[in-house]
Amino acid sequence: MTTALPSLTQAQGLAALAETRAAAPRPRRAPWFLRALPAALYLAFLAYMFIGVMPMSDASAITSGDGNSTERLAVLAMTGLALFEIVRRRRVVLPLVMRSWPVWLVLGWFCASVTWAAFPDIAVRRVMVMVFLCLITLAIAAGIGPLRRTLGLMAGILVVVIAGDLAVTALNPAFAFTEIGVRGYHQQKNVAGLVAMLAVIVSVGWALARPTPRRILAGFAFFVAAFGFLMLTKSKTSMMLALLGVGLLPCMLVLRRLGPAAALFLTLAGVGTVGVTYLGVTAFGGDFIGLLTPGNDSSFTGRTQIWDFAASEIARRPWTGYGFGSFWDVGDANDPLLRAPPGSWLATLKIGERADVVINEAHNGYLDLRLQGGAPALIFAVLAQVLTILALAKKLFSRTIQRADAVAAATFLVIALVVLVHNATESSLWMRGQVLANVSILISLLAFRREPT
């Protein structure tokens, strides 16, 4: 009889606990449309970047400089949804803002540059758009969920984008084909090349995240379509970086298996090899940079004259720059190319809508950062990108997240590295209206957040 008492007491205690739990109010689950809001906002943001609000429309200096009412309305609508999501997830957002301080340091400096901008009214409008885009990416990073989901949704939208580009190329060749390459439904072929480059890298990352036979086959088909369209664009920089990214991604996964110590050693060995090769080539009078360019073109298709001009303009305002968005696309009467030195091919270009070739960037992101915000802007932006890479590397080597999330981290890490190389010959780091600029900000916020369980 005495041995049964503890069992009876235990049973009564369990029954009482069950009644207490049943009586306690259960946490209310958010309605389905609130749960779907981050994914919807993310897809809208990707569509805005990769498709745009006016597909199959020609770019002009005015459009690229000031945007249009439809684009502004789209950004404001996404910002409204983002603010709602930020308030709803404030307990997640506030720590994320603290951890992602490098992003806000860059943005804050560009906001401050309005006070000394060459054209303050233009700078205010353009920096506000950048603020809105940062708020949108903040809301997405806080609510989208694991990295594998972020990569999967990006792959999905890029499949639609590449399919649309190929369809327009086949059905509307009069628009898609230009003298310098195919642009699909994009405004110019370089934008098409950037989107295709991202699609190539993402296709490989998506396939490797869950390497089942069916997924590998689907990823390969996606890769072939994306790379085929990339070849049609004739965008040399994007083609080289796509191949670089595809080569780096498997290496990242191998390094993950080896561990961080081996990864650090191999990285330093690789950097040392490049340094020794550079010294060896230059010691014998060779052109190391020219060897890395198609056709041994050390002028980078005339970019060196643009770089010289940009350097002379930076010397006028080395520490402050001209203010965010206040150097290029500031109207025909104020076009900086009017100050191009005589004898330079830049001085022979037509200005404004009559221009056959529109120059609205320095074709070097590091120069453009200095043109917009001086030396501090360059330091802050590069610091933010390097810290992003380190944060993604930490996720890559983490054993507390799923393998699919680690592969997604590796994919975004490769894109972050590609962006650093891309800015040697093009401008994308914090460049307004640039696809890679917006992608880079989103990747930074994803890198600095704590991964959801």
Contact between residue 153 and residue 147 where contact means Cβ atoms under 8 Å apart = no
The confidence score (pLDDT) of residue 1 equals 46
Structure tokens at 81: 């949804």
* pTM summary value: 0.88
User: Highest mean pLDDT: which of 45-54, 95-104, 394-403?
Assistant: 95-104
Q: Looking at residue 179, what is its pLDDT?
A: 86
Cα distances (Å, whole numbers) of residue 58 to 62, 64, 114, 166, 176: 11, 10, 30, 18, 11
299 Cβ partners below 8 Å, 6+ apart?
305
> How confident is residue 62, by pLDDT bands cut at 50, 70 and 90?
very low
CA distance 407 to 190: 28
pLDDT digits (tens, 9 = 90+) for 292-319: 555 555 445 667 888 989 999 999 999 9
Which whole number is the average pLDDT over 23-52?
80
Mean pLDDT over 369-386 rounds to: 96
> H/E/C letters for each residue in 389-419?
HHHHHHHHHCCCCCHHHHHHHHHHHHHHHHH
The alpha carbon of residue 403 and the mean position of all alpha carbons in its chain are separated, in whole angstroms, by 23
Q: Confidence class of residue 57 from pLDDT cuts 50, 70 and 90?
A: confident
Asked if residue 27 has pLDDT above 70, the reply is: no
Kindly indicate the confidence band of residue 94, based on its pLDDT and cuts at 50, 70 and 90. Answer: very high
AA identity, residue 78? M
Shortest CA distance to 252 belongs to which of 260, 237, 436? Answer: 260
